[in-house]
A = this chain, B = another copy of it.
Amino acid sequence: MTTTKIAPELIADHAHSVSARVDSDYKHLGEQLARRNVNIDTLKAEVAKFAVAVPSWGVGTGGTRFARFPGKGEPRNVFDKLQDCGVIQQLVRCTPTVSPHFPWDKVSDYKELRQHAESFGLGFDAVNSNTFSDQKDQPLSYKFGSLTHADAGVRAQAVAHNLECIEIGKQIGSKALTVWIGDGSNFPGQSHFRRQFERYLDSNRQIYAALPADWNMFLEHKMFEPAFYATVIQDWGSSLLAAQSLGEKARCLVDLGHHAPNTNIEMIVARLVHAQKLAGFHFNDSKYGDDDLDSGSINPFQLFLVFNELVDAAQSKAPNFNPAYMLDQSHNVTDPIESLMTSAVTVQRCYAQALLVDRTALTGYQDSNDVLMAAQTLKTAFHTDVTPLLQKIRIEAGGAADPVATYRASGYRAGVAAVRPAAGPSSGIV
């Protein structure tokens, strides 16, 4: 079937057609970096190890409460989603895992699912539970909350769903459960903040108790939406309190779009590293709220500054530092495959740039309060155009120098559109 994967020959041909140019640019970049005492081949080996997970729901077209405008050839189920994720990994070679979402991705045979993923060279990352929307035939509604609902029956149902997610996760090779809830309130007075938080802790203790020994539990905070007056886990402070209360396996996940305006996110990263509670990231970008835009599309320097903290933590051997990386974006106006490939490369780019920071010099400037040179040390790394480095890494791994161009040349989207029926327009919820 021509739509299953991109033909390897096509990728090879594309790579071949640009390899001379890439080699030349790579060589010159290497000369520039050598002047800064950076060995480009060592750097390449380091960057080549970088990986970021793709969320299964990310390959579908997103929307807003006002409308969803479907794309062509949208995946109908988790098997289609894995196929799309396989294409992404084929071309960018840094997205080897998929993070599934339940009940959306439920199937009858998880062994089959796992094999299906493996056939695309994919494994599974953290499993995600969903108690922020009601499913058909669900006995009790999450309209007024799930893990924190005033009614014990609803909480039990939500706990049970998370336990089921762990069970599924075991079968597909996951090692973590991500818990994000929409619980909160739309009116002052609607919820009793402290009792609600205690219910949150109580429900999560039951989930935590079911975690296998080698699993972690990722708690995800969000300032607002779907709740518009108050959210139970509204910021990293509440997330930290909860993670501390639950135990060692509980950690705090940072979604870049879930913060108050103007928040210094890289500082939060540093604090969670200090507290040994950083779970990892949901990468995306935003200008206004939880906009779920493509990673680095609005403020690439901020993404670089986050990686600057991460590289520093890794190089200084911060204890219990082992963050999980995932893209979490909503693609409303682009082909999701193209956006995810571009975003994976953008995240990888920031990682490479952060590796370029001269940390010995930086430490010296920081300790002597040479503020301007400290700032310029970061800027020098950020200004470096590492494009040829990233291209070289992809080509060497059998991927595409230019993933979007290769993808477009393959006709993949038209191929799947021919077999996946088109969705009708969604008129929005308002």
Contacts and interface: CB of A to CB of B under 8 A. Distances in A.
Given A240-B241, A366-B191, A67 B182 contact: yes
A235 interface: yes
B287 A288 contact: no
Q: Size class of A's contact patch?
A: 35 or more
A264 B182 contact: no
A297 interface: yes
A133 B301 contact: no
Given A57-B430, A187-B374, A334-B372, A287 B274 contact: no
A429 B68 contact: yes
B287 A264 contact: yes
Interface stretch (A161-169, A211-219, A378-386): A378-386
A271 B228 contact: no
B228 A62 contact: no
Interface stretch (A40-48, A80-88, A114-122, A140-148): A140-148
Interface stretch (A9-17, A91-99, A335-343): A335-343
A228 B287 contact: yes
Interface string A357-391: 00000110111110111111110001111010000
A322 B35 CA distance: 41
A270 interface: yes
A330 B332 CA distance: 22
Contacts of A141: 69, 425
Contacts of A190: 333, 366, 371, 374-375
B150 A366 contact: yes
A65 interface: yes
Pick the most buried of A141, A297, A302, A377: most chain B CB atoms within 10 A of its CB.
Answer: A297
A333 B427 CA distance: 21
A238 interface: yes
A278 to B, nearest CB: 12
Contacts of A287: 224, 228-229, 262, 264
Number of copies: 4
Interface in A399-430: 404, 424-430
A309 B424 CA distance: 37
Interface stretch (A171-179, A192-200, A202-210): A192-200
A193 B309 contact: yes
Contacts of A143: 69, 333, 369
Contacts of A318: 194
Interface string A277-294: 000000000111101111
Given A188-B378, A430-B330, A273 B32 contact: no
A332 B186 contact: yes
A195 B362 CA distance: 13
A262 B377 contact: no
A155 B186 CA distance: 37
A242 B25 CA distance: 48
A223 interface: yes
A400 to B, nearest CB: 14
Pick the most buried of A192, A228, A234, A259: most chain B CB atoms within 10 A of its CB.
Answer: A228
A39 interface: no
Given A150-B367, A229-B298, 4 more contacts: A66-B133, A194-B313, A228-B291, A383-B387
Top 8 closest pairs, chain A to chain B, by CB: A260-B260, A237-B237, A193-B270, A67-B133, A134-B425, A69-B143, A228-B291, A187-B375
